[in-house]
A and B are shown apart, each in its own frame.
Chain A
Amino acid sequence: MTENLEPVAGDKKLPLRATLAASVSRTAAALSRATGRGDGSVIGGKLGMMIDPDLLAHLAAGRQIALVSGTNGKTTTTRFTAAALGVLGEVATNSFGANMPTGHTSALARAGSTPFAVLEVDEHWLPKVINATSPLVVALLNLSRDQLDRAREVAMMAQLWRDTFEQHPEIHLVANADDPMVVYAAGKATDVTWFSAGQRWREDAHVCPACNSHIERQGDDWRCQNGDLVRPRPQWTIDGSAVIDPTGKRHELKLQLPGQVNVGNSATALAVAYFFGVDPTEGAPKLADVASVAGRYAQVERKGRQIRLLLAKNPASWLEAFDMAQDAPTLLAINARDPDGYDTSWLFDVDFSPLRGRQVLITGERAYDLAVRLQVNGVEFAHVTTFAKAIDSAPPGRLEVIANYSAFQDIRAELDRVV
């Protein structure tokens, strides 16, 4: 792959410093990939922003931008949205999940001039990235507990978002009507498209963040006892494997990605694209082209085992992973490094009972934390010290692998070396 090191067309209107910075950013990204040190999605942005701290704002100017944020589903929804928006023209996107400003800068610099951009944004960085990129649309997926030893608590995050959108009434929101924390975060904004994608995990939304009263649920519907927070009526919904648009029209999806959660992510993506003018009839087929997202859902054959990789980072995403996984031998891999959070307490928030009766193997640096959890959960398991031994321990056929972030990356690297 050759990298265009000359300023691309879109850079011509950039200030000189930004042009230099964008060029350095692309060169560094190319070097990172060429030397095998990374996928270039962060280093380029880092260098570029050292030269021009406003580089992200300069690169964003002139593009119509959608941002996607939330605890879970960001990377996949961003990929889906970029695919749907591709109907209208070229889309810049940070498809490797590098979701902080350095990653955004790299993605925009690499893409050159494009009319559209879809950027996945880390929840904490959303206010700053909004200020830098002036998005047309922000999609708010969900808020749930995730690495509390470094992340903000859920209610604080909802408040941070709410304060941000109070200052930006010009932004159109595409927001999850099923998550009370998201509805609170959307605040008094009137320019909101609501979607309903189901919410399996509800343990972070028992108490109304506005008035502290109990949130009562009846089926999908919910409201707090004081009526401060009430579920908005969603315009986009899902039904089985179909998305229903605001006119009531069904769009049957033929997704390669598994799980009901990805039907929900599709609804969100189509709702965002719709705001830009994409007819969901044209957008929906594009979603079927997505086969894997940064290694997630990837299927690899090794020693007669069809291995499928599922990423699960926090309690809510484990529930979704169990929904996707087939009734087959399953390897669970748990680490607790910096990107995972050092605290494994969350393992007790996950109910592993769907795995009862399956052959369960466990591995990873914190496999013993998981071992105690599974024992208490009544799930039989065997501990293996390496991924290679896990493969040997499973019979030929399907092997589901569910791993948290760094364990997932380790396994992905191991498979890349062999496959």
Chain B
Amino acid sequence: MSSSALQIVWVYPDLLSTYGDRGNMLILAHRARSRGIPADTHEVFLNEALPAGDIYLLGGGEDGAQALAAQRLLADRGLHRAVDRRAVVFAVCAGYQLMGSSFFAKGAKCEGLGLLDLYSDRGPHRAVGEVGGEVDPKLGLPTLTGFENHGGRTHLGRGVRPLASVKVGIGNDGKTEGAWNGTVLGTYCHGPALSRNPALADLLLRWATGEDNLPALDETWHNRLRNERLTFTGMA
């Protein structure tokens, strides 16, 4: 990497930042620095080339913005190069959809980045509300909890594993939620998904740093938030 500090790249905050997406960047940087790991954050706008980094974040966006982001990222190829060298990608909502081979925006099928083996189409109704369920045991994480707001349905291929099974909400299709392969992970838990899922934040940090054991942090407020939401949704 270009520097000894952890490089966190937020991709196109001018396009893909519908609701609190900045939170994932802030939480990752905060959890790294709290452990003495220096972290630099970069907000890369759509008229800029993607720099080399350790963790790439893609957020949610409106249809037009999502289609434009896909075009730019296909032309830029920076994210493809990042995945080739096993950088970490964490993509939520519209950002998650565009990691697949295709998605729908403004009624038209659009070419995705093809970085996860999945594609998205339109569902019968918009999925809005709490979402969550048990995470793929291979990842060793506690129950996933988040908020979703999307009109798409996502169909997983053989090259990915679902991030979670759905207990609450819709996620990909009412049965599974999100997807992951290698160090690329996507979810419909939109916005600051890591706020309710600090263990997922630490998984991304472990992937990015290669440190298998990160020092524990004070999780008082994260845990109170999780307990409150898990109780509310009947997942406690």
Contacts and interface: CB of A to CB of B under 8 A. Distances in A.
Contact of A348 (B22, B65, B68, B129): B22
Given A345-B20, A348-B21, 19 more contacts: A148-B18, A149-B128, A149-B147, A149-B149, A203-B13, A206-B13, A212-B64, A345-B191, A347-B20, A347-B192, A348-B192, A349-B22, A368-B224, A371-B221, A372-B222, A375-B30, A375-B221, A376-B27, A376-B195
Interface residues of B, number: 33
Interface in A351-374: 368-369, 371-373
A148 B30 contact: no
Interface in B12-67: 13-15, 17-23, 26-27, 30, 45-47, 62, 64-65
A350 B195 CA distance: 14
Main secondary structure of the interface of B (DSSP, over half): mixed
B225 interface: yes
Nearest to B195: A372
- Interface hub of B27, B128, B195 (most chain A Cβ within 10 A): B195
B190 interface: yes
A203 B17 contact: yes
B228 interface: yes
A214 B45 contact: yes
Contact of B225 (A148, A155, A345, A372): A372
Interface string A194-212: 0000000001001100001
Given A149-B149, A206-B15, A348-B192, A155 B224 contact: no
Interface of A: 145, 148-150, 153-156, 203, 206-207, 212, 214, 225, 342-349, 368-369, 371-373, 375-377
A105 to B, nearest CB: 30
B46 A214 contact: yes
A342 B22 contact: no
A349 B13 CA distance: 11
Contacts of B129: 149, 342
29 contacts: A148-B18, A149-B149, A150-B128, A153-B62, A155-B65, A203-B13, A203-B17, A206-B45, A207-B14, A207-B46, A207-B68, A214-B14, A214-B47, A342-B147, A344-B147, A345-B19, A345-B191, A346-B20, A347-B20, A348-B23, A348-B192, A349-B19, A372-B221, A372-B222, A372-B225, A373-B195, A375-B221, A376-B23, A376-B195
A218 to B, nearest CB: 16
Contacts of A212: 64, 68
A116 B227 CA distance: 53
